[in-house]
Structure 1
Amino acid sequence: MSALEKALQYSKKKQIDECEIVSVKKNITTIRITDSEIAEIKQNFDESFGIRIIHQKKIASIQTTKKDGIKESIDSAFSTIPSLKPREFWQGLPTTISNRNLEGTFDEKLERISGSKMMDIAQSMINSANSDKINTITGSLNIVSEDFEIVNSNGLCFEDKSTYISGIINAESEQGIVPVSGIGHASGRTLSNFTAEQIGKDAKKMCIESINPKKIDSDVYDIIFEPYSVGELLAFVVSSNFNFKTFSEKKSCFSNNFEEEISVNDLNLTDDPHVAEGVGTKAIDDEGVITQKNNLIEKGVFKSTFSNLYDSYKENKKSTGNGSRIGSPMGRSSEPITISAPHNLKIDSGKSSQEDMIKDTKRGMLVGRLWYTYAVNPIKGDFSCTARSGIRIIENGEIKNPGKSVRIIHNLPTMLKNISEIGNNQQNVIQWASLPSITPSLKIENISVNSI
């Protein structure tokens, strides 16, 4: 009998109504790149446990790193029950499920990768970013191997082994009138589909093409957002509006638009937990609910939201299988209480190549990355972001010059209805400390920008 099973037996002896225990064993290897060379390789192994107990519809939780201290943690959490308020809407933890795993989410080569092999990958990232026009290269390579286990007193028992890989390069140049930079990135679940060289090439290209930027006048432009910048918008502006809790509390800018058209009809936004190589791909959510593909926007129409057990029960609904315990830099954590979060936000590919999108733009810009993206007025959908490097000015269908920094203050409902083209260059994107997404470039018309 495992430590988790023994702990469940202990909770039953104490006559606790429901008990859930999650265990996360995580091996994280990080290579840090500074001053155009490998500065550090660091390995960290963590094992932690999250405990949630529900008694008389009162919910208590606690977290520990001590396997032999789980029983004491149950006692500690249980002791707080008398002072808690019952959640009368609670309908129970999931029951027994068959062990389901998806192919392509665990790679033995990544789990067993050597330090020297990791250094070779990181060096390839550096080498492919090198140029006489690049002054400094920074970045990181992260590989995570994870063993997640969840059990509860309703008979659920599920174990999942996962691997993740993510690399990022930031190339900086001081060759022109102002310092500029470019970014390259890639992420996935298997080693064979990870291309280190492309990361450096993308960073170098964006950086070199940003040298000697021209001032951009404050005005209205058509903007082509490349995948990395679209991922930023999805993570920090779009996703929260499809959270069932936000929606039901009338805090989403689309709370009054369910089953209505909220974007151009070419747009399909999906939470897809089964997509190959997705950083958030999983068969079972972090509460033990079977995951499902969820069409949030279908042909421009607002079709669905995402939720966990608690938020769903509160409104007498069923969970969509989006109970999440988000870990860093990727994967899961042993947080005892889940949040509602999408697994992989995916925008379906369109028909346009990025080159054709540029040719179709009379007066606009290409934006490779964004910073400081946040909601200004979430209920109305107003947001702000800043484009610094990776801006290219488009005139009459051609890239003419790199552009200086601009600030974009815009509105999400307006933006979704002003999408004129969707690219065919779909790409895995994961922002720092954020949600994974899979997205192509988007061309959006009539965006006001302010010169900085």
Structure 2
Amino acid sequence: MTALDKALNHSKKSGIDECEIVEIKKKITTVRITDSNIAEVKQNYDKSYGIRLIHDKKISSIQTTNEQRLEKIINNTFQTLTKLKSGEFWKGLPYKTSQKMLNGTFDKNLEQISGSETMDIAQTMINSASNSKVTAITGSLNIVSEDFELVNSNGLNFKEKATYISGIINSESEYGILSVSGIGHNCGRTLTNFTPEQIGEDAKTMCIESINPQKIDSDSYSIIFEPYSVGELLAFVVASNFNFKTYSERKSCFSNNLEKEIAVKELNLIDDPHIPEGIGTKSVDDEGIETRKNNLIEKGIFKNTFSNLFDSYKEGRQSTGNALRQGSPIGKSSEPIPMSSPHNLKISSGDQSQDEMIKETKQGLLVGRLWYTYAVNPIKGDFSCTARSGIRIIKNGEIICPGKSVRIIHNLPTMMKNISAIGNNQRKVIQWASLPSITPSIKAENISVNTI
């Protein structure tokens, strides 16, 4: 009998209504790059547990690394329930789940990768980013393999093995009048489809093309957001508005717009948990609910939200299979209370190349990277972000020069109705400790920018 089985049996003997336990065994290999060299390689092996108890519709939880004390921890946690308020809406943990094997979620080669092989990949990233005009290269490579197990006292037992790989390079240059930088990134679930050369090439290209930036006048522009910057907006501005909890509490800027047009008809925003190689791809969510494709925006119409069990039950709804126990740097964790989150946010590809977008732009900016992106007034949809690198100025259909930093303060509903083009250059991106997405470039009109 496993430690989890013993702990579940103990919870039943103790008279606890429901008990849920997650176990995560994780191997994390990290390569840290500084001053154009590999500075550190480290491997961590972690095993931890998350316990959630529900009794008389009261919920308590705890997280631990001590397998030997699971039963005692359950006893102590159970005692705290008497002081809590009942959630009368709670309907129970799931009883069973249907597990499917999804392509591109586990790679034996990544699970067994050695430290020297990991260093070789990181060195390839560095080499491809090197250039006489690149002064310094920094970045990291993270490879994660994990064994995740979820059990509950209703008989659910789910096990999953997963692998992840994510690399990022930041190239910096002191070559011109100002310090500039460029970023390159790639992520996935298997070694075969991971391209470290492209990471360095992208960082080098953005950096070199940013040398000697010119001042950008405060004005209104057409802005072409490249995939990495679109991913930033999706993660820190867009996603929360489709969280059912945010929506039902009327804190979303779209709370009054279900089944209404909130964007141009060409825009489709999908939460797709079944994409091969997607960082968030999974057949079952972290509570044991089967995942499904969820059209959040369909042809510009607000169609759906995403939610976990607790937030759904609170409003008399069913979970959409979006419970997440997010781990660091990627993968899952043993967080005892899962949060509602999309798995892989995807914007459907459009029919224009990025070059075509540029040719059709009279006065605009091409933005490769955003920093400090956050909601200023979430209920209205106002947000702020800074374009600090990878900016190019477009005049009459041509890129004329790189641009200096600008601040963008705009409104999400307004921007979504002013999208003029969606690219055909879809890419997988993930911001640090944030949501994975698959997105092409997006062009939006009449965006005010302010010189910094």
Shorter-chain TM-score: what band?
Answer: over 0.9
- Answering whether residue 183 of structure 2 is matched by residue 186 of structure 1, we say no
Partner of 2:54: 54
Give the CA deviation at 1:72: 1.1
The residue correspondences of 1:44-443 to structure 2 (distance < 5 A) are 44-443=44-443
Give the CA deviation at 1:433: 1.2
**Residues in 2 aligned to 1:124 and 1:98: alpha-carbon distance in whole angstroms:** 40
**Residues in 2 aligned to 1:89 and 1:255: alpha-carbon distance in whole angstroms:** 22
Secondary structure at the counterpart of residue 389 of structure 1: strand
Number of positions where the alignment pairs a residue of Structure 1 with one of Structure 2: 452
What one-letter code is carried by the residue in structure 1 that aligns with 2:222? Answer: D
**Residues in 1 aligned to 2:98 and 2:440: alpha-carbon distance in whole angstroms:** 35
Deviations along 1:276-324, one digit per CA (max 9) or x if unpaired, are 1100000000000000100000000000000000000000000000011
Give the CA deviation at 1:6: 1.0
Q: Is the 8 A contact 1:106 1:161 kept in 2?
A: yes
**Residues in 2 aligned to 1:321 and 1:97: alpha-carbon distance in whole angstroms:** 11
What one-letter code is carried by the residue in structure 2 that aligns with 1:162? Answer: A
Give the CA deviation at 1:331: 0.6
Give the CA deviation at 1:342: 0.5
**Residues in 2 aligned to 1:144 and 1:121: alpha-carbon distance in whole angstroms:** 14
What one-letter code is carried by the residue in structure 1 that aligns with 2:157? Answer: C
What one-letter code is carried by the residue in structure 1 that aligns with 2:205? Answer: K
What one-letter code is carried by the residue in structure 1 that aligns with 2:108? Answer: E
Q: Is the 8 A contact 2:99 2:283 kept in 1?
A: no
Give the CA deviation at 1:98: 3.6
Secondary structure at the counterpart of residue 247 of structure 1: helix
Over the matched positions of the two proteins, sequence identity in percent amounts to 73
Give the CA deviation at 1:129: 0.4
Secondary structure at the counterpart of residue 79 of structure 1: helix
Secondary structure at the counterpart of residue 213 of structure 1: coil
Give the CA deviation at 1:69: 1.2
**Residues in 1 aligned to 2:69 and 2:107: alpha-carbon distance in whole angstroms:** 32
Give the CA deviation at 1:101: 2.9
**Residues in 1 aligned to 2:171 and 2:438: alpha-carbon distance in whole angstroms:** 23
Q: Is the 8 A contact 1:101 1:160 kept in 2?
A: no
Deviations along 1:346-373, one digit per CA (max 9) or x if unpaired, are 0001111111111111110100000000
Consecutive aligned runs of 4 or more in structure 1 exceeding 4 Å deviation = none
Secondary structure at the counterpart of residue 296 of structure 1: strand
**Residues in 1 aligned to 2:99 and 2:361: alpha-carbon distance in whole angstroms:** 50
Deviations along 1:16-75, one digit per CA (max 9) or x if unpaired, are 000000000110000000000100001111100000010010101011101111111111
Give the CA deviation at 1:100: 2.7
Secondary structure at the counterpart of residue 47 of structure 1: strand
**Residues in 1 aligned to 2:132 and 2:104: alpha-carbon distance in whole angstroms:** 39
Give the CA deviation at 1:157: 0.2
Q: What's the RMSD between the two structures over aligned residues? A: 0.6
What one-letter code is carried by the residue in structure 2 that aligns with 1:274? Answer: H
What one-letter code is carried by the residue in structure 2 that aligns with 1:294? Answer: N
Give the CA deviation at 1:114: 1.1
**Residues in 2 aligned to 1:69 and 1:343: alpha-carbon distance in whole angstroms:** 33
Secondary structure at the counterpart of residue 390 of structure 1: strand
Secondary structure at the counterpart of residue 50 of structure 2: strand
Give the CA deviation at 1:97: 2.1
5+ residue gaps, structure 1: none
**Residues in 2 aligned to 1:97 and 1:286: alpha-carbon distance in whole angstroms:** 11
**Residues in 2 aligned to 1:99 and 1:252: alpha-carbon distance in whole angstroms:** 33
Give the CA deviation at 1:2: 1.2
What one-letter code is carried by the residue in structure 2 that aligns with 1:289? Answer: I
What TM-score, normalized to structure 2?
0.99
Give the CA deviation at 1:103: 2.0
